[in-house]
Amino acid sequence: MRNPIITSLALALAFAAIAPQVSAKDMQKAGSCVLLPADDLKWNEVPGFPGVKMAALEGDPATGPCHIMMKLSDGFAAPLHHHTSDHFVTVVSGTLSLTVDGKETKLPAGSFFLFKGKKVHVTKCEPGADCVLAIDARGKWDVLPETVAK
């Protein structure tokens, strides 16, 4: 298993290269309305995570609260891990499978979930279609692997 500190640092550096599509300056200029059609999303590969792309919509995922879209390829699986920040997620497309406390739950498009307090889980995108997630992270976005007892 990777060292969580190294993984977190690598992710922070990788996410720093992903500029948000709507900056604070853009928000001030736009006033109370920002419209971003799906075709205008800028998807970036997430280094170190084959099969994962991210579109940073607002805020900086490497440093603080943000709104992001995450695309997990059909069949993608992330082993046991947690995130530092509380986050609220809507499944936009595909079927996401989450295993929490040993129980697997399948969440099709239109489903919602939230994780608070560094909840440990396993994430999978069910075969058949990519999974697209809309994420409201209340702090920086990171993925910290858990050590599995042998």
pLDDT in tens, 31-70: 678 888 999 999 999 988 899 999 999 999 999 999 999 9
- Of 122, 79, 72, give the one whose Cα is nearest residue 94: 72
DSSP 40: G
Instruction: Measure the CA–CA gap between 29 and 107, rounded to whole angstroms.
Output: 37
DSSP 48: T
Number of H helices, E strands in the chain: 2, 11
| Overall CATH class of domain 4-145 | mainly beta
Specify the DSSP element, H or E, that contains 97.
strand 95-100
Q: Are 111 and 96 in contact (CB under 8 A)?
A: yes
Check: pTM over 0.85? Answer yes or no.
Answer: no
Phi/psi at 123 (5° precision): -120, 135
Tens of pLDDT, residue by residue over 92-103, are 999 999 999 999
